[in-house]
Each structure stands twice: as C-alpha cells, then as structure tokens.
Amino acid sequence: MLATCQGQLDPSSNASGSLVLYRASRGSDGALLEGRLVADGECIYIENQAGSRFLAAWPLPGTAWNPDPLVVSVSGVRLRPGSVAFFAGGEVPLKGSRIDWVQPPRAGCVTEKAWLVHTVYDSARST
C-alpha cells in the first residue's frame, strides 16, 4: 500500500522515511536525467551512467511512497532501489538554493547537488 501525502507533512515524523520532499510548483526545469534509483543509508540518489549521484528530491503533492520496502511513485511510475527511469526536472545546488523544502535533505547525505524530480518516465516504455 502506497501512502499519498497531500498538504502539510510533519518533517519530525517518520511518515516519509528517507525521502527529500519539496513543495511542487507549476513550473519545472526541462532537463531529463536517465538514472538508477539508489538507496544509501537514509539517502536516496539518482545515479547516472557515468556514476555521478544526485540527491533525489520529490514533489509534494505528487509523490506517493511506502517506506518499507521502499517504493516511490511519481507520474504513475513505481520505483524501487535499482529501478532505471528518466527523471524530468532539474539540478540544483544544495547550498545557497532557495528551495521550499517540505522535508529537507538529511545532514548525512553526501552530495552538493540535488535533482528536483518533476515527472518520471519508465525507461522501458521510453525506448
């Protein structure tokens, strides 16, 4: 069963597990990142074919998930660690960005950049 969160989420609760969440807006960056979802401790990354990792930031509303076992659903595409997909959105630096975080990145997530996911496309259907 996937949990869908709408409206306010209490960041002190564990309802979202390790997801980094941002308040979705109508606009979105037009970039497309093909990558594999990687769970590393409390952090979830998108890793591209070159091995570069972007901290995955998910839109709220618009994201549903189950923390155990981890399943994230955006745009009707269900992802698990190891899933490969196309992530529409854009790269942002974690320091100095003015993102409206609902649940900010955890201090232990080692990266300087995040990918603000707007839409997900299943790579199997996109080829």
Q: Does domain 18-126 match CATH 3.40.50?
A: no
**Global confidence as pTM:** 0.82
Please write the tens of the pLDDT for every residue from 56-68: 999 999 999 988 8
pLDDT of residue 120: 94
Q: Name which residue leads in pLDDT, 84 or 28.
A: 84
pLDDT of residue 12: 38
pLDDT of residue 107: 86
Please write the tens of the pLDDT for every residue from 97-115: 889 999 999 888 888 899 9
Name every residue whose Cβ is closer than 8 Å to that of residue 33 and which is 6 or more positions away in sequence: 46, 48, 54, 86, 87, 89, 91, 115
Helices (H), the chain: 123-126
